[in-house]
Amino acid sequence: MKKNKLWSMAIAAILALSLVGCGKEAEPAKEDGILLGVSQIGSESAWRIGNTRDIEEQADRYGINLMMENANQKQENQIAAIRRFIAYKVDVIAFSPIVEEGWDNVLKEAKEAGIPVILVDRELKTSQQGLTTCLIGADFYKEGVMAAEYLIRKADSLGLEHVNIVEITGTQNSTPMVQRQAGFFDTISEDSRMNILESIDGDFLKSRGAECMRYLLDTYGDTIDVVYSHNDEMTLGALPEIEKADFVPGQDIIIISIDGGQEAINVLKEGKINCVVECTPKLGKALMETALKLKAGEAVEPVIHPEEEVFSDEQDTSLIAPRGY
Ligand code: AHR
């Protein structure tokens, strides 16, 4: 072996060892020739944009060829994208279903074509078993439970005897909407102080969050004690409406949000949001590793839920690290 080749091997080994020593994640082995078709819901929130970016970055890290399509919030666009992936004969399909119903036909087509389907972020309902392989996404029910548990602690600390709540929900019949509501309702139902004034569909959009809040303030005025909003985007839309109506968010009205994007965390630090339950969009790494296993014919975990936490005024919010989305 030539002397300069020996030198470059030695330097590469030292570099690799020093990276391990720095705690930096080792680069995964790059795979050749795997084609992954991903149908993304749209760009409705900072969460979604962060999720898209993470999937693209992780596909690049793993050397996986990505066909990524943005469905612009329409189920029919997702179905058309999946049909294109089947026609292209991709190795694996992944998608985040905008709503839970209406996927049977296209999933049967994927199964007939022998292409495994991974659910990322959201779940769906099918009339037959085995049309999808696994789910990589948050435990939305637990997020609703954590939001309610925070509220119960807050009501205790303020000595509240009666708590009127308005709920701004995500897209009707989407998994995060259904489960965040169920987890929250199940938990507050054990506390007789809690009363839901109204639940209203904000579709996970900032503009709808503002519209819903205007309506709720017009209807219930100063009887509102709590806004429980299913995502940061709607919360950020609702806050200026609360201020315009001369209420101080975070003080006159308790604000509870879900996602934990940087903008909402900044507002939490200002005291205008009381609690943000984390929902991480960083699902790309688990998605790439699962796609590789499926391509290799290996078994995969049926459900992968990332670890998530709660950020709130119960802690020193200045210590919350930058969120990255
Ligand atoms: O499915 C995850 C949800 O979808 C996020 O909470 C929300 O921000 C996004 O639009």
pLDDT by residue (tens digit) across 80-135?
999 999 999 999 999 999 999 999 999 999 999 999 999 999 999 999 999 999 99
Place 7 in a pLDDT band, splitting at 50, 70 and 90.
very low
Q: What is the pLDDT of residue 299?
A: 97
Distance (angstroms) between ligand 1 centre and the Cα of 87 equals 29
The best mutation among 43, 48, 258 to test binding of ligand 1, ranked by most ligand atoms within 8 Å of the C-beta, falls on 48
- Which ligand 1 atom minimizes the distance to the CA of 175? 1
* Nearest-CA residue for atom 3 of ligand 1: 176
pLDDT above 90 for 32: no
Lowest-confidence region among 22-26, 153-157, 260-264: 22-26
Place of tokens 């602690």: 153
Read off the pLDDT band of 33 (50, 70, 90). confident
- Ligand 1 and 140: CB distance under 6 A: no
Q: What's the pLDDT score for residue 14? A: 42
Answer yes or no: is the C-beta of 44 below 6 A from any ligand 1 atom.
yes
Listed in sequence order, the DSSP H helices in the chain are: 3-21, 46-62, 75-88, 104-112, 140-158, 175-188, 206-220, 232-244, 262-270, 284-295
| Nearest partner of 166 among 232, 219, 91, judged by Cα | 219
Q: Probe ligand 1: pick from 100, 259, 282, max atoms within 8 Å of CB?
A: 259
Give residue 5's pLDDT: 39
pLDDT more than 70, % of the chain: 91
Ligand 1 pocket test: pick from 40, 43, 45 the residue with the most ligand atoms within 8 Å of its Cβ.
Answer: 45
70: pLDDT strictly greater than 60: yes
Q: Which atom of ligand 1 is nearest to the CA of 261?
A: 8
Q: If we measure between CA atoms, which residue out of 305, 315, 52 comes closest to residue 179?
A: 305
At residue 24, what is the residue type? K
How far is ligand 1, taken at its centre, from the CA of residue 240, in Å?
Answer: 21
Whether residue 13 is predicted with pLDDT greater than 80 in this model: the reply is no
Ligand 1 geometric centre to CA of 65 (Å): 25
pTM of this prediction exceeds 0.85? yes
